[in-house]
Chains A and B, each alone.
Chain A
Amino acid sequence: MEKKDVVLENVTKKFGDFVAVDDISFSVKRGEFFSLLGPSGCGKTTTLRMLAGLEKPTKGKIYIGEEDVSEVAPFERPCNLFFQNVALFPHMNVSENIAFGLEMKKLPKSEIEKRVKELLDVVGLPGFEKRRTKELSGGQVQRIGIARALARRPRVLLLDEPLGPLDLKLREEMMIELKRIQKVVGTTFVYVTHDQGEAITMSDEIAAMKEGRIIQIGSTEELYNKPRTAFVAEFIGRSNLIRGRYREGKVNLNNLNKSIITGPHKVADNDYVAVCIKPERISIGEDIANLDNVFEAVIEEVYFRGAQINYKVLMEGNYKISILEHYKGKIFEQGKKLKIGWEKEDVHLSET
């Protein structure tokens, strides 16, 4: 069996009567990049804070390494947290910030200096030692925050939306950077985000959270291709969802007296399901009759994105469908009536 660095068993956290984290369990393998993904307020920060020891679980057990850490104070835990608001110490400069955790370890001065320099190299900001925290740009603040959290060489690094406040371009650069840092230091990362793009790009494994519960845990591909529920499907990969009732390899649609051919699935007959189809699996055109499923549609909006075109169409039965197509020198115009379709293999069924 592989070594687990983090294990949560039936952890619940209540604030008064409000349940912020509801009976969640998961484990993270050594050296893995694990993401907690979910919308704002679903309890991601609370979960991380319990791991860091800043919040006590109301119920359940937390292990870091093999050790039960319920009674271990935050400053004795082998993990470090990157705070959602970074929380750099404003009265210290960059090197003092990074060195803080090392001083607490009572390392000799020369060793601390050496490590600070190394860490600044790792986060790509060499020579920033004497900068004051006020003199850093947004992206630099995030990087120094990461360096500070990495300084003690924690067994587990907990990151709370470290890329949240950055603009798109910087965010994309930092994603690559973070993944690189993780490879260099080989630490286990528990990464919190509400951005599916970040989670998909970097993670080995993702736990999708909603209202304090974990809805699905799995590899990135699993969550992308086989979302267990409609929520996961919408959140990850922006699947199109069409709701209906499953019966013998078909789903009879709610709004439309037609059905989608899905082939046999492990779903009981007459169950309500959501048919998920990824935007990039749908074909669009005037003549696509050879597909398993073909419907009439009207183009409502067209977004040209260079290599790709994104069509928002209204399918018969009033379903709004998003379609991604490679640009091959042809664009359909808004208001055009045409057909859309997909094969039964491209369909996945989720719980509604």
Chain B
Amino acid sequence: MARRNILSILLSAVVLCTAAAADDFGDPEAGEKVYKQCKSCHQLGEGAKHRIGPHLNGIFGRQAASHEGFRYSKALVRVGAGGLEWHADTLDTFLENPRAMASGTRMSFKGLKDAEDRLNVIAYLRQFSDNPADIPEADPTATATDHNLDPAILALKGDPEYGAYLSSECTTCHQATGGDDGIPSIVLWPEEDFVIAMHAYKNKDRPNPVMQMMAGRLNAEEIAALAAYFATLEE
């Protein structure tokens, strides 16, 4: 615990309650199943890259929001600068309710309520960190996002100005500031992920009827324009 004494009082209180759990090791195999929920945003394993969220290789012992080349929310940068490091106990607290720890995080995830799920997924994550070094590296899971989109669609270059106009239809629900109060953030996504997600709604491969309807009437060029625009927004 000594390394982490810089955390806020509030946080340490939570950490103390969960410290016992943090010393137990969870079951990484069960954790791999839990991780499926994380996979669409966070890559892990050999070749993992930043996507909608940063990759999670080597997360243990790292200061929060410390990857070069990923644009974190201001909220996470703040808690990182405040000294938050990722360890079993802090991850446990964060995963239980991300926004309790960093209220403005763009991580659109409600949290894992089940303590065992958290324990297991943390055990799984440890396999991709050198720290502690004695845990063997598991098979890589980093995969390109699943899709069967025509490469010509992915290659379309969107017009951000048109995207800015079209985006006004999105910001009725999705906050342009990246906030998330029940409807997920869509700002600063990699363009490819944005395009894939929108086409998945358009083709009704993703379930939400509002999004199916909204994406359903956008053509490929309009989706590219939106992707181009949202990828460049400032928080």
Do A and B interact? no
Residues of A within 8 A of B (CB): none
Residues of B within 8 A of A (CB): none
